[in-house]
Amino acid sequence: MGAPMAAHLAAAGYSLVVADTNSAALDRFCGSVGCERMSSLQDMGKSCPLVITMLPDGNAVQQVLLGTQGIASALAPGSVVLDMSSSAPMGTRELQRQLANSGVWLVDAPVSGGVKRAVEGKLAIMAGGDAAAIARCQQVFAALGQVFLTGVSGSGHAMKALNNYLSAIALAATAEAMMAGQKFGIDSKVMLDVLNHSTGRNTATEQKYPAYVLPRSFNSGFSLGLMAKDLRIALGLTEALASAAPLLRECSQMWTSAERRFGFAADNTEIVRYLEMLPDPKGNG
């Protein structure tokens, strides 16, 4: 998702200094979009008053920012770090405190909408942190989608994790209902038509099933491992807050088991395949 997002920023007139551990992806991007390649993390910090991270998790964000010769060591006071990754909210609060000691602002602004919305520039952006720092990012947000102000530092990441929990459980519940209906003899397309005109309607019935599951392509563009990670973040949040979440716990365990079976890079819609492979609870053939 980072590539189309960065392309929108370039189209909006921003000068980009870019980095990616995937050299092939970086070559493709730099071949199509005018930008400068990062020479080092510290050089990026010296030249960029705004740094955007779009990384797999909060640990990667902390390593890039605070690791040996990380970006943060070269950022000038008043600079802004915009973490658009899906990170653990409690870790984000600690990172915000550490950066604040150097006069650097942190805004957590994860996104939702998948690759399709990233390409369209219509992402939902959940922004948490200092109001003045968020205001400085408004034009950046405008190039990427619609921003929603969620509150204090870490609240954007909390909102993203909770959103992905609902997305994950909707897909799993839809899969269970579809499997039962199919075994009863109801046509899958008829089921989706009924569900999408009824109270069971959700993103899985409207988008994921018709686009990625029924054709058996399983290529939504968001990995199963990332969804499993986001569920663990959501579960960790509820545990830290002592908030009851028995369904979330079951959902997280299911996705973690599917990740072990299919691998991190499998598409998140392959949770359907995982459920299809589970043994009959009654032991029937």
Q: Is 183 a catalytic residue?
A: no
Six-digit token pair at 2? 């980072």
Angle at 88 between CA 112 and CA 225, to 5 degrees: 65
Q: Is 56 left (phi over 0), alpha (psi -120 to 50) or beta?
A: alpha
CA distance 51 to 39: 15
CA-to-CA separations, 283 to 18, 48, 62, 149, 180, in angstroms, rounded: 54, 61, 48, 50, 16
Angle at 54 between CA 30 and CA 19, to 5 degrees: 35
- 3-state secondary structure at position 223: strand
Rounded to 10 degrees, the C-alpha dihedral 10/143/92/67 comes to 0
- 3-state secondary structure at position 108: strand
Q: Which of 46, 116, 122, 160 is catalytic?
A: 160
Q: Residue 74, exposed/middle/buried by CB under 10 A (0-12, 13-18, 19+)?
A: middle
Catalytic residues: 160
